Structure 1
Amino acid sequence: MYKKTMSAMLAAGLVLSVGVASAQEPVQKPNAQAASAFDNKIIKKISSDNMYNTIAKLSAQPREAGTEGEWIGVQYIKSQFEQLGYETELQPFTFNEVVRGTGSLTVNGATLDPYVFSGSYSAEVTADIVHVGLAKSGEVPDEVRGKIALIERGEITFVEKIQNVLDKGAVGVIMYNNSGTSNRFGQANAGQNIPAVAITRDQGLELVNQLKGGPVEATIKVEGSGFVEKTSYNVIAKMKPHKNKDTNQVVMIGAHHDSVAGGPGANDDASGVSAVLELARVMANMPTDTELRFVTFGAEEKGLLGSYHYAGSLSEEDADRIVAHFQMDMVGARDAGGDHPAGGLIMYTIDGKKNLVTDLGSAAGARTAADTVIPYGQLGRSDHQPFHELGIPAALFIHSPLESTYHTPDDTLDKIDKNKLQEAAEIVGASVYQIARPDTPALEHARVAPGPVDYDFNDRPPGA
């Protein structure tokens, strides 16, 4: 689909407008004065004070998905979009919250101290133990029926191992580690109605030896564990283009509004949401030939659940209309980015390849306050991933390496840098406007057409 989209944009002259350098074209840096005239409609209106105030409101309480804190944040975000005149909706979706309870394990009367699998079924069972090795499909013996399966960790996932012995009729799972001295591991899936606990490697090998001498009986007891269904939300805001200039294209700007449990999430990702809301404010009354779609996603911290739900809800026709997705995650931390240029801002793509979003973003960085050609890298783990999988050009804008307060209760407002907020919003805002402004289908004939820039791959992991 990306090739299809790019072909359509080439036909419209849009790719020429963004200045994608080719082997046949000389690479040039845009004229700063001319570029300023092009971008000032956006960047002069962006206020880091507004973004800072938004972060203050959102980070007043943790916003873990499915909690009252998230709901408070969602209502605030929705109200801001509505006040700006956007067509706004909440998109609810449910997910299973994993709960790890408590448990006990006795073997031939001896008490062990097991680790209860996250999401394990809560039950008490007593039965003989059968060692089933790695519990790979096709290798689980029939004799495990009605018994407790002793499984070695490794090679396949926890849930696959559980399912393989469950399918053979096992009534309980004891899994021992394949290395080290820890017993803190294990995850079950909803619907796997069998209690599962973990023990250390030494404990597991001791049970293997005991089984050589005859039957070994065990009792597993798990309480308060399983899955709780919760609801999270995506907040979607749309602004239709001028009806006489509509190109039938959509450009998306996103962030995730949830935080980790117990964390105020000032940078992760109230900062991204603040930039989304600020760009929505700046662009609310601008003439465009492209639909603007701003989305804040829920349950990113639970595994990109909100963005996958949203992407999955798109019709093929609607997905084909989306020409670019800009994702902002953690764009305001004072202590992120190390000594890299532009505060360490980088654009990550899923496949490590350039696309329309990175072309626009790097050129915009050279024209705006950052005055830096922003590099690109390769990374998933954020809400740009579902859009890439639909063939939509997408990139994550983030400061890397991450700050030490990432995913902690210390991710607070006082760690936010207004300059970083301003730069990131300017770059994304200038990039989006270059697509959405009414003259982009013929921008090569416009009075101001920013030239191409050359930008490099930076193999910079977030923790580097």
Structure 2
Amino acid sequence: MTDRSGPRSWLALQRLLRGTRHGTSPHVSEGHDAPHRVLRSRTPMHRTEHLLATALERQPGPSRRGLLGAVAGVTAASTLTAAPAWGADDLRPGAVTRPKLDRYDREIVSGLSSERALQHLQVLSERIGPRIGGTESEKRAADYIAGQLDKFGYRTRLEPFPVADKFLAQIADVRGMLPDDLCWQAGAAPGGKLDVTVEGPVRDVGPATAPVWPADVAGSIVIADDTAAARPALVAEAAARGAVGVILLPADQVYPRRASAFSPSGLTSAPIPVIGVAQVQKRLIREALAVVTSLPLKISTTAHRGLISNNVIGERRGKGPVVMVSGHYDTVPGAPGANDDGSGTVLTMELARVFSRIPTHATLRFALWGSEEQGLLGSRYHVAQLAQDQRDRYRAVFQNDMVATSWDPAVTYWLLSFTGLANTATDAVRAAGQRLGYDAQLVGPVQRGASDHQSFQEAGIASANFSWRGELAPSYLEPPYHSPEDTIAKNVSLERLQVSMELIGCATYAVAR
């Protein structure tokens, strides 16, 4: 991915946008008298594109976005909202009542900074990128997080555990015809050729069930609409015709979901590399083919074997029970994971920084789980190592998974409990929401697992997951979810991140002090 959104450049863009709000939609206003500015506001796209494009031109460094990426990338960048600028007693964006904070709440909210959290998020989602469990990229992220927790003064440790092999691919755009602000990682077929790099022009044969083969397949990279049943025959025919690789395209999912990158199964010793891309990557490749005479690509496949993933845990011992704040720092293949779950990771890190200066009776633990996307592996491993007397010490675990999306419909802050029942964690966040004026935006507890709180609740430990999602249901997730578009520019709201940090910070202090 192109790393062009450092702190100064993004803040410059946001200041530019803030300075031109007077000419936008009547739904957009400025200042603390407009609490819905972030969660409901919109700027006309043509105006925003012009402003952002102008600002980007003023930034140093390379500006290439590819043939089709310039307008799309600039438009998406507009979804990163300006840094919050409200005081302790100001009405929060989207809140219905003014806050009624006690002195403990004020101690927390006065120290939190979404801009500081953003700096961590830029490291994780842009400099490191996808963080697939057990791979070197996940380890780089673990080392970075551990270094920060060490810096804050916590007793920090890595908790290693084994995970399955991974098979990944990387697509390189030889002539710069595809957007370069998008992640081009994909999954590789374990039954295809691995640890190789091939290059060739793309040839689209249509559906794998009824491919239409052009005459010039030899030396090319074939793309086809994938179905599992037709996969082996398609790959065999492509190889027989001299293709050097195959890119399988997923079926489109029903909005708002989009298909993720995948490692195609069902192949045995295919003589060429075979990879599976995400829905957005499929669209961009086909859009490029529609406007250029030739689209040469390079694909590389890598087998990652004998893998070890890590949990990162920072602790400050107290005399009381254990209170934990957590998130997961890994991602699915092909996703930079800015919101899922870079946002929960940096929330946890920022709260660790703030609490490093605030004494508590409880033992505080800040945990970032590895390999959540593979089946809650990190948190399950951690809980399995706890003896019963250690489990009994836990008073609450606050899991934070997807806490900063900029998707407009995600106006509900969900309190998600694996059992569906209230517990210490949900009660504390509900009470914090009332003090912050957010009670109307909080829904739950609602029965839902699928994140690391489940591992704790299965062991009888009070825990819940907290997340901004669509108001229809907690399963109503933003389109960039698990996709290459889960980036800071396209899927992060600093105001939602700030609100999330305040809710969890105030709730944690109420339980821990």
Pair 1:411 & 2:483 matched? no
CA RMSD of superposed structures (Å): 2.9
Unaligned 5+ segments in structure 1 are 1-30, 101-117, 123-180, 186-219, 438-464
1:391 to 460, 464, 468: 460
Indicate the residue corresponding to 1:457 in structure 2: none
Residues 122-271 of structure 1 correspond to what in structure 2 (within 5 A)?
A: 183=229, 222-223=268-269, 228-241=305-318, 246-247=319-320, 249-271=321-343
Change (3 A) 1:403 1:82: same
| Structure 1 Cα separation of the partners of residues 192 and 324 of structure 2 | 41
Amino acid at match of 1:427: L
| Structure 1 Cα separation of the partners of residues 368 and 347 of structure 2 | 11
Tell me the SS of whatever aligns to 1:434: helix
Alpha-carbon contact 1:370-1:423 (below 8 Å) kept: no
| Structure 2 Cα separation of the partners of residues 348 and 408 of structure 1 | 23
1:41 to 94, 101, 107: 107
Alpha-carbon contact 1:363-1:373 (below 8 Å) kept: no
Tell me the SS of whatever aligns to 2:165: strand
Change (3 A) 1:397 1:336: farther
Seq. identity, %? 36
Change (3 A) 1:95 1:48: same
Alpha-carbon contact 2:98-2:437 (below 8 Å) kept: no
Residues 281-360 of structure 1 correspond to what in structure 2 (within 5 A)?
A: 281-335=353-407, 337-338=409-410, 343-360=411-428
| Structure 2 Cα separation of the partners of residues 275 and 424 of structure 1 | 8
Change (3 A) 1:406 1:121: closer
Alpha-carbon contact 1:271-1:330 (below 8 Å) kept: yes
Question: Per-residue deviation at 1:222?
Answer: 2.4
Unaligned 5+ segments in structure 2 are 1-96, 169-188, 194-226, 232-265, 275-302, 471-476
Change (3 A) 1:267 1:315: same
| Structure 1 Cα separation of the partners of residues 353 and 313 of structure 2 | 14
Pair 1:422 & 2:494 matched? no
Question: Per-residue deviation at 1:182?
Answer: 5.7
Pair 1:55 & 2:121 matched? yes
Aligned length: 292
| Structure 1 Cα separation of the partners of residues 438 and 147 of structure 2 | 31
| Structure 1 Cα separation of the partners of residues 408 and 452 of structure 2 | 20
Alpha-carbon contact 1:368-1:423 (below 8 Å) kept: no
Pair 1:367 & 2:422 matched? no
Which segments of structure 1 move beyond 6 Å, counting only runs of 4 or more?
118-122, 224-227
Change (3 A) 1:91 1:184: farther
Indicate the residue corresponding to 2:159 in structure 1: 91
Question: Per-residue deviation at 1:38?
Answer: 3.3
Question: Per-residue deviation at 1:400?
Answer: 1.3
1:78 to 122, 146, 161: 146
Amino acid at match of 1:269: D
Amino acid at match of 1:51: A
Q: Deviations over 1:387-439 (max 9, x none)?
A: 001101110001113210001111011121011001111111101101111xx
Alpha-carbon contact 1:405-1:411 (below 8 Å) kept: yes
Question: Per-residue deviation at 1:373?
Answer: 5.8
Question: Per-residue deviation at 1:44?
Answer: 1.1
| Structure 1 Cα separation of the partners of residues 103 and 151 of structure 2 | 29
Pair 1:279 & 2:345 matched? no
| Structure 2 Cα separation of the partners of residues 221 and 85 of structure 1 | 50
Alpha-carbon contact 1:336-1:399 (below 8 Å) kept: no
Tell me the SS of whatever aligns to 1:223: coil
Question: Per-residue deviation at 1:370?
Answer: 3.6
| Structure 2 Cα separation of the partners of residues 358 and 40 of structure 1 | 21
Indicate the residue corresponding to 1:382 in structure 2: 451
Q: Deviations over 1:56-79 (max 9, x none)?
A: 111012111122211111111001
Larger Rg: 1
Alpha-carbon contact 2:331-2:373 (below 8 Å) kept: yes
| Structure 2 Cα separation of the partners of residues 434 and 392 of structure 1 | 18
Question: Per-residue deviation at 1:228?
Answer: 3.9
| Structure 1 Cα separation of the partners of residues 379 and 162 of structure 2 | 13
Tell me the SS of whatever aligns to 2:464: strand
| Structure 2 Cα separation of the partners of residues 53 and 73 of structure 1 | 14
Alpha-carbon contact 2:114-2:494 (below 8 Å) kept: yes
Could you state the TM-score of these two structures normalised by the residue count of structure 2?
0.53
Amino acid at match of 2:109: I
| Structure 2 Cα separation of the partners of residues 359 and 288 of structure 1 | 19
| Structure 2 Cα separation of the partners of residues 336 and 359 of structure 1 | 27
| Structure 1 Cα separation of the partners of residues 394 and 268 of structure 2 | 48
Change (3 A) 1:184 1:270: farther
| Structure 1 Cα separation of the partners of residues 413 and 408 of structure 2 | 9
Q: Deviations over 1:319-342 (max 9, x none)?
A: 11011110000101100643xxxx
Tell me the SS of whatever aligns to 2:392: helix
| Structure 2 Cα separation of the partners of residues 336 and 54 of structure 1 | 24
Indicate the residue corresponding to 2:469 in structure 1: 400
Question: Per-residue deviation at 1:371?
Answer: 5.6
Could you state the TM-score of these two structures normalised by the residue count of structure 1?
0.58
Amino acid at match of 1:363: A
Change (3 A) 1:47 1:65: same
Amino acid at match of 2:350: E
Q: Deviations over 1:335-388 (max 9, x none)?
A: 0643xxxx3211100111111111111110111264646221111111111100
Indicate the residue corresponding to 2:15 in structure 1: none
Amino acid at match of 1:435: V
Q: Deviations over 1:168-189 (max 9, x none)?
A: xxxxxxxxxxxxx96279xxxx
Question: Per-residue deviation at 1:35?
Answer: 2.9
| Structure 1 Cα separation of the partners of residues 385 and 230 of structure 2 | 37
| Structure 2 Cα separation of the partners of residues 228 and 433 of structure 1 | 42
**Which fold has the larger relative contact order, with Cα–Cα distance below 8 Å and residues 6 or more apart in sequence?**
1
| Structure 1 Cα separation of the partners of residues 479 and 230 of structure 2 | 24
Q: Deviations over 1:132-181 (max 9, x none)?
A: xxxxxxxxxxxxxxxxxxxxxxxxxxxxxxxxxxxxxxxxxxxxxxxxx9
Amino acid at match of 1:63: R
Change (3 A) 1:184 1:346: farther
| Structure 1 Cα separation of the partners of residues 100 and 469 of structure 2 | 30
Change (3 A) 1:289 1:337: farther
Residues 439-454 of structure 1 correspond to what in structure 2 (within 5 A)?
A: none
